[in-house]
Amino acid sequence: MSNLVFEVFIRLFLTFILSLIVTPIVKLLAFRIGAYDAPGERRINTKNMPTAGGLAIFSVFSFSSLFLFQFIIPTSYIWPIILGSGIVVLTGLIDDIKELSPKKKTLGILLGALVIYFVAEIRVDFVTLPFFGQIDLRWFSLPITLLWILGITNAVNLIDGLDGLASGVSMISLTTIGIVGYFFLHAKTIYIPIVIFVLVASIAGFFPYNFYPAKIFLGDTGALFLGFMISVMSLQGLKNATFITFFTPMLILGVPITDTVYAIIRRLMNKRPISSADKMHLHHRLLSLGFTHKGAVMTIYALALVFSFVALLFSYASNIASILLIVFSLIGLELFIEMIGLVGENHQPLMYVLRLFGNKEFRREQMKKRLGKHSKRK
Torsion of CA 345, 351, 355, 356, to 10 degrees: 100
Going through the chain in order, the beta strands assigned E by DSSP cover 36-37, 49-50, 126-129, 133-136, 240-242
Is 278 a known ligand-binding residue? no
Cβ–Cβ < 8 Å for 111, 87: yes
Is 220 a known ligand-binding residue? yes
Backbone angles phi, psi at 377, to 5 degrees: -65, -35
Give the list of residues 6+ apart from residue 149 with CB closer than 8 angstroms, or none.
Answer: 109, 112, 113, 116, 228, 231, 232, 235
Backbone angles phi, psi at 2, to 5 degrees: -65, -35
Q: Walk across the sheet containing 126-129 and list its strands.
A: 133-136, 126-129, 240-242
Give the list of residues 6+ apart from residue 85 with CB closer than 8 angstroms, or none.
Answer: 58, 112, 225, 228, 229, 232
Give the list of residues 6+ apart from residue 136 with CB closer than 8 angstroms, or none.
Answer: 125, 126
Give the list of residues 6+ apart from residue 21 with CB closer than 8 angstroms, or none.
Answer: 205
Cβ–Cβ < 8 Å for 228, 40: no
CA angle, residues 21, 23, 24, in degrees to nearest 5:
80
Annotated binding residues for Mg(2+), as ranges?
157, 220
Annotated binding residues, as ranges?
157, 220
